Amino acid sequence: MRDERYAALAKQLVEYSVALQPGEKVLLEIKGRDEALTRELINAVYRRGGRPFVHLLNERVEKEWLLGADDQAMQDRARWEAQRMSEMDAYIGVRSKDNLYDMKGVDDGILDRYDKLFYKPVHYDIRVDKTKWVILGYPNDAMAQNAAMPTDEFEDFYFKVCCLDYAKFSKAMDPLKNLLDHADTVRIRGEGVDLRFRITGMPSVKCDGRLNIPDGEVFTAPVKDSVEGYITYNTPSPNRGQVFEGVTLRFSQGKIVEADCRYGDKKALQAIFDSDPGARYIGEFAFGLNPFIEKPMKDILFDEKILGSFHFTPGNCYKNCDNGNYSTIHWDMVYIMRPEYGGCEIYIDDELIEKDGVFVRKDLQALNRENFV
């Protein structure tokens, strides 16, 4: 029996997120098992007059390929996929993980080479910069389990989050974007965090359902060498087939000079930050705004949008907010500001704008949860 929710989601992805036009080519890259949504995406593209191309991936199969691939194999694959990506007008990526730990056991050196030789030239250099793109997580049993919810209940939550009225949401983001576009300094103080940095001259970007589903953030980037202080992130942070908790970073002149974690492989943590020089600087600072996402579920596409959170991201910046930091990594780690997590305050140019996850500045209050429920 057809689930009309998938059809509605596919329509939103094709018509709103990537705004596909007649005759345009779109790559549908599906990681995991996702037949229902893939079929609906193909049909939505055809109805729009577009041309769908489908690439199916399996992470466990990818792992076996990685374990035997040398530099030449990665470069050959990058050249082939770069050619394909360069011919696309749009990209829709669907991510479905059966097991967060499937990539565990792949050596950090292999993953560094994969990021450098394959992922960056294909995705950061072509897909991100030259196509209309959107990425979403696909609801499955594993995702529901990570969210500590029954599968049926999680699916209801998923479609409510993903089918938010993003046009209304986008309009509510405008005052925050305007504030950040003209701001100089940011100060964040709370339980386990005391950060100071500048965003002078850096643009801000609304994420309103056109790049990620679910969506809901406004991001900018710190001036590269301006970050001072420390942060202990209070949500789990998956990376490279592992989950780290209680990651603490200390900064001096923008650089991560100390990194530790309460739970996780500390050697693996250091290896991530030693991937390249840019891995020790921040490429993104963002406000999480989605009114229906309130707790972490070890899925960054959801967790970075948590209401009353921010993420402070080591690694590569985005070209539309270029602070000069380039890296093969981009690790969105999340700090939740709400009182049950210890509380936190964000000041822009010495003005308190958000306290304990609630906007207190009048022109930003349209982003608070009560306006969407």
Span 19-53, pLDDT tens digits: 999 999 999 999 877 788 999 999 999 999 999 99
Q: What is the pLDDT of residue 1?
A: 46
Which distant-in-sequence residues (6+ apart) come within 8 Å of 210 by Cβ? Answer: 16, 17, 18, 19, 132, 134, 166
Is the model's pTM score more than 0.95?
no
- Return d(Cα 198, Cα 225) in angstroms, integer: 9
Q: What is the pLDDT of residue 28?
A: 97
pLDDT at 373 over 90: no
Residues 48 and 66 in one domain: yes
Residues 171 and 135 in one domain: no
CATH of the domain at 27: 3.40.1830.10
Residue with tokens 């450098």: 116
Residues 150 and 176 in one domain: no
Residues 179 and 195 in one domain: yes
pLDDT at 354 over 90: yes
Quote the tokens at residue 324: 């000069």
Residues 196 and 127 in one domain: no
pLDDT at 77 over 90: yes
User: Does 70 or 240 have the greater pLDDT score?
Assistant: 70
Residues 189 and 330 in one domain: yes
Q: What is the pLDDT of residue 363?
A: 96
Q: Name the helix (H) or strand (E) containing 114.
A: helix 108-114
The CB density around residue 75, as the number of other CB atoms within 10 Å, is 15
- Amino acid letter at 348? I
Residues 52 and 91 in one domain: yes
Find the range with the poorest average confidence among 101-105, 285-289, 302-306: 101-105
Residues 233 and 304 in one domain: yes
Residue with tokens 């921010």: 310
Convert the pLDDT of each residue in 322-332 to its tens digit. 999 999 999 99
Residues 183 and 35 in one domain: no
Q: pLDDT > 70: what percent of the chain? A: 99
Quote the tokens at residue 39: 């079929």
- Amino acid letter at 152? D
Residues 140 and 184 in one domain: no
Residues 96 and 195 in one domain: no
Residues 145 and 174 in one domain: no
**Cα 201–Cα 205–Cα 207 angle in degrees, nearest 5:** 165
User: Which domain-ending residue is among 137, 162, 187?
Assistant: 162
Which distant-in-sequence residues (6+ apart) come within 8 Å of 12 by Cβ? Answer: 162, 163, 166, 209, 213
pLDDT at 258 over 60: yes
Phi/psi of residue 348, each to 5°? -115, 120
pLDDT at 2 over 70: no
SS3 content of the chain, % helix, strand, coil (to 5): 35, 30, 35
Q: What is the pLDDT of residue 58?
A: 87
Structural domain containing residue 233: 166-371
Domain count, the chain: 2
User: Which domain-ending residue is among 114, 142, 162?
Assistant: 162
Q: What is the mean pLDDT of residues 171-186?
A: 98
User: Which domain-ending residue is among 121, 142, 162?
Assistant: 162
